[in-house]
Amino acid sequence: MTGPTLYYAPGACSLASHIALEEAGAPYETVRLNLQAGDQRGAAYLAINERGRVPALVEGAWVLTENSAILRHVARAHPDAGLWPENLRGQAIADEWLCWLSTNHHPTYAHIRRPGRYATDEDAFPGIQAKALDTYGDLCTMTEVRLSNGGWAVDGRYSVVDPYLLTFWTWAHGPACRFDMGERFPAWTAHARAMAERPAVRTVFAREGLDLPA
């Protein structure tokens, strides 16, 4: 049995689901999409995910999209991997983190990278991007505060929340934002560096052609 297939794009939000699958330790396959070439809008992929975005996880004829859902599914499908908190409050905190990242960090970053989704007047793009960059910095500060106690995001134990956090750290560090992560967000940077020591993270970053946090 080959396991599920993850459709991903290097460095995209699908990075979180990719790491979670690797951490689970069970067989899976990947299909790499080139977003710049428009693979996500091609007929072959739209037949799998009509939303035209990554990630998509395919198990036989069943398709699951959205990182938050895929992360929960992977964790619950592989309980022995310990990717989901065991106690109810820990599970609630994990859900809180996933909601926070998917509904705040992600759409704000999209305003920076893709202002054309939010305005038709190109003259408005710089203003949208500048405001979104400020807002993204504020969101990163709030995330930094929540990570200031050190360690993993939920109850001091690794979970699927942690690769999602790493994804947004890489975006904040990357060319769209260019935040000095070590200076501005030392706790989050310590978390990213701890993630970089995990074999699953190293494997996925190598497969996607990404630089590990340093």
pLDDT per position in the chain (214 positions), as tens?
A: 589 999 999 999 999 999 999 999 999 999 999 999 999 999 999 999 999 999 999 999 999 999 999 999 999 999 999 999 999 999 999 999 999 999 999 999 999 999 999 999 999 999 999 999 999 999 999 999 999 988 999 999 999 999 999 999 999 999 999 999 999 999 999 999 999 999 999 999 999 999 999 8
Residues 113 and 184 in one domain: yes
Closest CA to 12 of 65, 81, 83, 74: 65
Q: Cα(202)–Cα(214) distance, rounded to whole angstroms?
A: 12
Q: Is residue 111 part of a domain?
A: yes
- Beta-carbon contacts of 121 under 8 Å, excluding residues fewer than 6 positions away, are none
Q: Is residue 107 part of a domain?
A: yes
Residues 133 and 173 in one domain: yes
11: left (phi over 0), alpha (psi -120 to 50) or beta: left
The whole domain housing 192 covers: 88-198
